Amino acid sequence: MKFRNEKSPEISISAEKQRGNWIFAVSDNGIGIAPEHRERIFEVFQRLHSRAEYPGDGIGLSICKKIVEHQGGRIWVESEAGKGSIFKFSLPATQFVSPNAERSNQAHAGA
């Protein structure tokens, strides 16, 4: 929402399972990103604009990248300057069992 033009912001979020991974997509109608900057935006303290234009420190997407990669996924952007962006990230589609659910199952088994 920070990197927007004069249009009202439009954001959509989706997810789909592909080949053992969940692919999440967050798309916007913002200012977009030129192809030569697509990798750079995920590096810490890398800014494409001055602080006078857009506030921030340039760490948000680098934190997202660390989190996603720590979970075994990857993150990328599909964008064109002036036409918005689609930020995508993948996470392995593993079965998750909450520790509380596991304790609850053990309690019922012993009853």
Q: Is 1 part of a structural domain of the chain?
A: no
CATH number of the domain within which 20 lies:
3.30.565.10
Q: What is the pLDDT of residues 40-81, one digit of tens each?
A: 788 765 655 555 655 566 778 899 999 999 999 999 999 888
d(CA 21, CA 97): 17
Please tell me what DSSP assigns to residue 8. P
pLDDT band of 91, cuts 50, 70, 90? very high
For the chain, the domain total comes to 1
Residues of the domain holding 56:
11-110
d(CA 12, CA 25): 8
